[in-house]
Structure 1
Amino acid sequence: MKLLPRSAYDADAMAATLRACNRGACVASEVAFRTGKMRRNDLQDEVYYRLKDEFDLGAQAAVRTVKKVVDAYNTLRGNIRNGHLTGKALRKAESKPIGFRDDAAQPFDDRMLTWNLDERTVSVWTVAGRIKGIPFVCSPEALKLLASRKGESDLVFRDGEWFLIATIDLPEPPTAEPVGWLGVDLGIVNIATTSDGLILSGRRVERYRKRMRATVAKLQAKKTKSARRRLKALRRREARFATDTNHVISKTIVTTAERTSRGIALEDLKGIRQRVTAKKDQRYRLHSWAFAQLGSFVGYKALRAGVAVVHVDPRNTSRQCSECWHTHRTNRVSQAWFACRSCGSVMHADHGGTSRPKAGGGSRNIAHRADAVWQRGAVNRPSTV
């Protein structure tokens, strides 16, 4: 939800609150790193009164700040345990306490933040006192979800604007037993291709990306104050564009599967950047697109719609013939075309067919593999109806 502060005083009070909480979090982090007390109760005993006295935090704000530090260290330990940090990054993370930016997000619970959904306003605790009646705007769908909101909400300052991020717990609908599978082949030239023959092209994304790269390079070369202001305004714009594109694509895929009572089959692309060797001019395209984000968007949208999702082994999906299942590296003639050396079938490499595409190619192979994965129980199958 986007907040609309009524005056500069309201905005300054919220900014001062974030600054005080995050500087207090840095102090608590240093104590936790030095003493090894990273459990909530232990760390709270050490720093609670110091946070209240030095940073003018209220009782609940001090408790939430300690909890934020504890959660940060728990996340760090989890990343180390799962092997997400190695080498130089691991040594750097273990050599110093976790730091917090002055404008980093701060969690607020119901004692510090009160919602008035009828008037679309919030009451927020700040170091300058409680500020009441701050308007917020959101979509009608989000407003309906807020009625079931419980727990914390995060106050966020991003690109000169204020937001509240609220967590909503929704009941998980039963997952329907799929009647077939919608295979989805993910790529760079075509972001997603379904086994129905629907191609979601990446051409528009690539044009936008090239334009942004040229604009940024031109501004960086100028090295003026106005150029730096413009660069700051453009920051994260490409990421927002990619996120919006992934939302549109994932919604299209889930809607199609739900309408046809099928499950969704995706490639397991974990570690794809390490497994694939790309030419120099292709590396930027490979490393810049958020395949994991697209997969997560499909996952949570499918969960809300009761659609089953499985991940299959991506090896040779683009080299295997979807007619006779013959697999050979020379079957893939080019990026777009596939010609089987065994049965002679010629089709689009991603979906199959020519002017009137039939289900085939990589996406059809993915759909075929999904049924085997589902049947042998290689996934944690949810309750089905």
Structure 2
Amino acid sequence: MPEADQAAALRSTLRAVNDAACWVSVVAFECGVPREWELRKHTYAELKARGLGAQAAQHVIKKTRDAYTALKANIRAGNLGKPGSKRRVKAESKPIAFRPEAAQPYDDRCLSWQFDAGTVSIWTTAGRLKGVRFTCSPDALKMLREHRQGESDLIERDGEFYLVATCDVLEEPLNEDPTGFIGVDLGIANIATTSTGYRAAGRGLNRHRRRQLDLRRKLQAKGTKAAKRLLKKRSRKEARHAANVNHIVSKAIVTTAERTGAGIALEGLTGIRGRVRLRKDQRTSLHSWSFHQLAVFVGYKAKRAGVPLVYVDPAYTSQECSECHHIDRKNRVDQATFACRACGIVMHADFNASRNIARRGETVWTAGRESRVPATATQVAQTWEATRQPAAP
């Protein structure tokens, strides 16, 4: 919550460091993206001449090098398409650019927190700013006091400034002997359905997304300055709403598992967008589906609570009967109904899938706990001698 003059200094600092990062990126691109220490030899003196402090210059160089590392990882993983595709060629043919308001990392030499006063002291190109007020929830303030570690990122978003602090929270001891596993079936019609009977309906979230999509279309078609201002004001609103829903759903799942001493089994849905084939009118729903974010939220909440988490193969979970394990495509009558052709049982299709996921979760957990280390020669000999000894009378 900076004052007007403080906000101007912070904004000028972000513009300066990101402009410098763009220059470093050009140098790195022309030099074939050398290692960080070599890139430092080419750029450090110029960054200091531009008015950046020693630590800020180091962070700019590291930030640029990390961006190229991330680009290389995305190319290797195929996230930018196949070799020769337009998207991949575009990414590889020019230096990485940084937005003027992009995040800038600060370490403890450049940023200090005064929790009791609710202020921070932060480096800027105009000098050190002291007494810059910040605000957060009481829980977040407690976490900052107890668990803050390492760097914090300064970000400007829609004219407001945020400090994203890294907190290292200790995990609870993992429950090595869960009472069972809660299977979680992820979907679009129902965000999550568990084998315990919990169901998070996606009707409200899908309605919200359709409403936001219609509004964006109308504002984009209008094209006036007022419409553009409203579009900017409403940007990321859908993403924030979806993240809030995913937090609520993940918290409910993990809380149930923690209370009952059970583990959690999730579907491994990586790459599903590239595997499935849908009609054109269904693609928006699929690509808006934030299953990965929900899985991430469940993952870190489960670690905090010491709840075991496993991922299972989702193949045929919607076609397999959770009672007799008969697999048939015709078992899935429609989106909501499952009727087994072998044993005749009828239940909600997502609940049936969640029970299959729970059973597979137990199998994966048991297999992971079994020793895969081959027996030593001494152990084999001892076992063989034990079998040769005569039985006691």
Aligned AA (1:365): N
Deviations 1:95-146 (A, max 9, x none): 1111111111100111111100111110111111111111111122221221
Give the counterpart letter for 2:29 in structure 1.
F
Instruction: Indicate the residue corresponding to 1:304 in structure 2.
Output: 304
CA distance in 2, matches of 1:313, 1:378: 18
The answer for the alignment partner of 1:357 in structure 2 is none
Matched, 1:5 2:13: no
Q: 2:338–2:349: 8 Å Cα contact kept in structure 1? A: yes
Shift of 1:167: 0.8
* Range with bigger deviation, 251-260 or 67-76: 67-76
Q: Is the 8 A contact 1:113 1:125 kept in 2?
A: yes
Q: In structure 2, what residue type is equivalent to 1:5?
A: P
Are 2:106 and 1:91 aligned? no
Deviations 1:211-263 (A, max 9, x none): 11121122112111111100110111101111111111111110011000000
Distance 1:129 1:247, change over 3 A: same
Aligned CA distance change for structure 1 residues 57 and 379 (closer, same or farther; 3 Å): farther
Shift of 1:264: 0.4
Give the secondary structure class of the aligned counterpart of 2:100: coil
Asked whether the equivalents of residues 310 and 379 of structure 1 are also in contact (C-alpha less than 8 Å), the reply is no
1:104-183 equivalences under 5 Å are: 104-147=102-145, 148-177=147-176, 178-183=178-183
Match for residue 332 of structure 1? 332
Match of 2:44 in 1: 48
Residue 359 of structure 2 is aligned to residue 368 of structure 1: yes
**Structure 2 residue runs without a partner (length 5+):** 372-393
State the Cα distance separating 1:378 from its structure 2 match.
Answer: 8.7
Which residue number corresponds to residue 383 of structure 1?
A: none
**Which residues of 2 match residues 286-301 of structure 1 at below 5 A?**
286-301=286-301
Aligned residue pairs, count: 366
Match of 2:208 in 1: 208
Q: Is the 8 A contact 2:33 2:68 kept in 1?
A: no
- Please identify, of 291-300 and 40-49, the stretch whose mean Cα deviation from structure 2 is larger: 40-49
* Matching residue of 2:383: none
Q: 2: distance between equivalents of 1:102 and 1:38? A: 24
Give the letter aligned to residue 222 of structure 2.
K
**Equivalent pair of 1:114/1:122 in contact (CA under 8 Å):** yes
Letter of the 1:309 counterpart = L
- What SS does structure 1 have at the residue aligned with 2:63? helix
Residue in 2 aligned with 1:77?
72
* Residues 306-356 of structure 1: per-residue CA shift (max 9 Å, x gap): 0011111111111111111111000000101111100111111111xxxxx
Q: Does 1:62 align with 2:60?
A: no
Q: 1:17 aligns with which of 13, 20, 26?
A: 13
Deviation at 1:280, TM superposition (A): 2.5
Using the TM superposition, name which of 324-333 and 163-172 deviates more: 163-172
Distance in 1 (CA, whole Å) between partners of 2:285 and 2:73 is: 30
Identity %: 57
Question: Which consecutive residues of structure 1, in runs of 5 or more, have no partner in the other structure?
Answer: 352-360, 381-385
* Offset from partner CA, 1:38-76 (integer Å, 9 cap, x none): 3222111111111121x3111111111111111111212
Task: Provide the rounded CA distance (Å) in 2 between the counterparts of 1:90 and 1:277.
Answer: 23
- CA distance in structure 2 between the partners assigned to 1:254 and 1:135 by the alignment: 35
**Relative to structure 1, is the Cα distance of residues 109 and 139 closer, same or farther in structure 2, using a 3 angstrom cutoff?**
same
- Asked if structure 2 preserves the Cα contact closer than 8 Å seen for 1:38 and 1:73, the reply is no
Q: 1:38 to 1:173 in 2, by over 3 A?
A: farther
Matches of 1:104 and 1:140, distance apart in 2: 27
Note if contact 1:242-1:289 (Cα within 8 Å) is conserved in structure 2.
no
AA aligned opposite 2:21: A
* Structure 1 residue 38 corresponds to structure 2 residue 37: no
- Kindly indicate whether the alpha-carbon contact (under 8 Å) linking 2:25 and 2:64 is maintained by their aligned counterparts in 1: yes
* CA distance in structure 2 between the aligned counterparts of 1:168 and 1:150, rounded to whole angstroms: 5
AA matched with 1:183: G
Which residue in 2 is equivalent to 1:28?
A: 24
Task: Give 2:376's aligned residue.
Answer: none
Partner in structure 1 of residue 227 of structure 2: 227
One-letter code aligned to 1:95? S
SS of residue paired to 1:165: strand
Larger Rg: 2
Tell me: CA distance 1:127–1:379, structure 2 relative to 1, closer, same or farther (3 Å).
farther
| Amino acid in structure 2 at the alignment position of 1:236 | R
CA contact (8 A) 2:171 2:305 kept: no
Structure 2 residue 285 is the aligned partner of structure 1 residue 285 = yes
Q: TM-score, normalised by structure 2?
A: 0.90
Deviation of 1:85 after TM superposition, in Å, equals 2.7
**Amino acid paired to 2:91:** A
Task: Kindly state the Cα deviation for residue 80 of structure 1 after the two structures are TM-superposed.
Answer: 2.3
Q: Distance in 2 between matches of 1:18 and 1:102?
A: 6
Residues in 1 aligned to 2:112 and 2:243: alpha-carbon distance in whole angstroms: 30
User: 1:379 Cα shift?
Assistant: 11
Between the aligned partners of 2:37 and 2:283, the Cα distance in structure 1 is: 47
CA distance in 2, matches of 1:378, 1:258: 20
Q: Distance in 2 between matches of 1:115 and 1:241?
A: 30
State the alpha-carbon separation in 2 of the partners of residues 199 and 170 from structure 1.
30
